[in-house]
Amino acid sequence: MRPTVLCFSGLDPSGGAGLQADIEAIGQSGAHAAIACTAITVQDSQQVYGFEATSSDLLLQQANAVYNDLPVKAFKSGMLGTTDNIAMLAEFLQDKPNIPYVLDPVLVANSGGSLGDSATLVNAFTTLIPKASLITPNTVELRALTGQNQIAEAVKVMFDLGSNALLVKGAHEHEPHRIRHWLYVNGECVAESRWQRLEAEFHGSGCSLASYIAGRLAQGTQLKDAVQQGELWLHGALKRADMPHAEGQRIPRRF
């Protein structure tokens, strides 16, 4: 069968982000998505209202059931919600160092809604950073993870914490007509991409990109190529995005 990406992510009832975004993006990449559900959230396409996290024991049972059954060739994590879940994932990954792992360090939703205690999660994420083949923070998350305002300094801190590769997403920077992303490997910038800024906000774009990249890595694609393919695919999905309301966040059309 197709190689499997095992995702650790939460349920977004609107289908814009979270595990549905993972399933759709990974399917489009050519891989198969399996999910260990980390939380049930209460949200629509515009706002997060609350969530209830899965216990770490139940999360581990889900992960083991999939890992022992399907050809898992990559891991991806999004919303983890609690420090217990982060600790469980770090332990789960401990004896699987040769399987690519994409870490999307979700702290808050694009709408600003809480997906866990950000300050507490930041400290816990340090246990996952060295285990990730690629970390995909936007610049807001990058600053939160490092305490550094300047991107160059924040990147340096991430590699001091043990990062292997870092895709810094620049949509939150104040460049009116373009968005820039930077790919760093072993502390060096190996690629910079520039994209036309679309006149909208999007719900689930980060989940989608990280998952598509994980799907390509599961199939043996080299990291730099997987990132480039993911960015190109995502830009198309955003240009075609569904618009639930006249104003507000849009949902990427991943098919």
Instruction: Give the integer Cα–Cα distance in Å for 122 and 80.
Output: 12
Closest among 5, 89, 79, 93 to 40, alpha carbons compared: 79
69 burial (CB, 10 Å; 0-12 / 13-18 / 19+) is exposed
pLDDT in tens, the chain (255 residues): 999 999 999 999 999 999 999 999 999 999 999 999 999 999 999 888 989 999 999 999 999 999 999 999 999 999 998 999 999 999 999 999 999 999 999 876 565 565 566 677 888 899 999 999 999 999 999 998 999 999 999 999 999 999 999 999 998 887 888 999 999 999 999 999 999 999 889 999 999 999 999 999 999 999 999 999 999 999 999 999 999 998 889 999 999
Whole-structure pTM value: 0.95
Compute CA distances 107 → 40, 116, 122, whole Å. 15, 7, 8
Q: Are 250 and 202 in contact (CB under 8 A)?
A: yes
d(CA 255, CA 20): 12
Cα torsion angle, 168, 171, 172, 173, sign: positive
3-class state of residue 216 by DSSP: helix
Residue 62 half-sphere exposure toward CB, CA atoms < 13 A:
19
Please write down the HEC assignment for all residues of 50-115: EEEECCHHHHHHHHHHHHCCCCEEEEEECCCCCHHHHHHHHHHHCCCCCCCEEECCCCECCCCCEC
Specify whether the CB–CB gap between 212 and 28 falls below 8 A.
yes
Q: How many CB atoms lie under 10 A from the CB of residue 243?
A: 12
Per the CB < 8 A criterion, the answer to whether 181 and 193 are in contact is yes
CA dihedral (54, 74, 3, 65) in degrees, to 10, reads -30
